[in-house]
């Protein structure tokens, strides 16, 4: 499967070059958040991996030790926490990790739509993160993966016919768009719909005031 350059790679490079805050990546399932996090991470921890989950649950100090963080490094490693919104106290964990180690690393945290909503609750994270919502591929992103300047309106430009047909037929989610296989797309859509009903709606039913 051919890798598709994403606008968000440029966004994250700019973020880490200019900001100390954590980068929060939220958005729908299968939109490419995990792939983006892996692209930048020197240490990648997934809540879905039992070993990584156990490490995170041991606390910020254990994660910092495993990531080899120290104030002596010439560069800033990037620690990524994938699907961290499943942590019962994800805000408390990220706040503690950032406050202790912000000078030693940069942080990416990814989560589903639940994280997109819950991060707005309370002010405990204020000043510690910038949110970025990842969207499916669009005509504009396929035309250019650069960050627009001050003028957000760009002159019209032609999109290659094969890209337009793929976007119209398979949608903008990266994997079915890149594969362009009808059979795979049907199975992918069915599974995603089931996950949406079983997991995402269940997440939304929980209290948004949880820590």
CATH number of the domain enclosing 189: 3.40.50.300
Strand order in the sheet with 106-110: 43-46, 78-82, 106-110, 22-26, 129-133
The chain-wide mean pLDDT, for the chain, equals 86
Residue 209 domain-assigned (yes or no): no
198, pLDDT greater than 60: yes
Residue 50 domain-assigned (yes or no): yes
207, pLDDT greater than 50: no
89, pLDDT greater than 50: yes
Give the per-residue pLDDT at 116: 56
Cα(107)–Cα(170) distance, integer angstroms: 33
Residue 1 domain-assigned (yes or no): no
Is 51 within 8 Å of 140 (Cβ atoms)? no
**How many domains does the structure of the chain reveal?**
1
Is 100 within 8 Å of 33 (Cβ atoms)? no
Q: Measuring CA to CA, which residue among 38, 18, 28, 25 is closest to residue 171?
A: 28
Residue 160 domain-assigned (yes or no): yes
pLDDT tens profile 127-183: 899 999 999 999 999 998 888 776 667 788 899 999 999 999 999 999 999 999 999
Give the per-residue pLDDT at 202: 61
Residue 138 domain-assigned (yes or no): yes
């Amino acid at each position: 499967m051919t890798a598709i350059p994403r606008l968000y790679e440029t966004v994250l490079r700019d973020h880490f070059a200019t900001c100390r805050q954590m980068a929060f990546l939220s958005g729908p399932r299968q939109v490419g958040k995990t792939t983006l996090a892996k692209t930048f991470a020197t240490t990648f921890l997934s809540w879905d991996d039992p070993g990584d989950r156990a490490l995170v649950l041991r606390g910020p100090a254990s994660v910092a030790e495993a990531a080899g963080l120290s104030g002596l490094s010439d560069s800033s490693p990037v620690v990524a926490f994938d699907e961290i919104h499943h942590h019962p106290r994800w805000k408390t964990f990220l706040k503690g990790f950032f406050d202790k180690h912000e000078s030693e690393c940069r942080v990416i945290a990814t989560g589903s739509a639940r994280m997109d909503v819950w991060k707005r609750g309370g002010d405990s994270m204020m000043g510690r993160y910038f949110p970025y919502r990842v969207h499916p591929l669009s005509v504009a992103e396929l035309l250019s993966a650069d960050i627009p300047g001050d003028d957000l309106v760009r002159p019209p430009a032609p999109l290659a016919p094969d890209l337009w047909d793929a976007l119209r037929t398979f949608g903008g989610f990266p994997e079915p768009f890149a594969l362009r296989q009808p059979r795979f797309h049907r199975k992918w859509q069915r599974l995603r719909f089931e996950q949406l009903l079983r997991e995402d709606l269940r997440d939304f039913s929980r209290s948004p005031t949880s820590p």
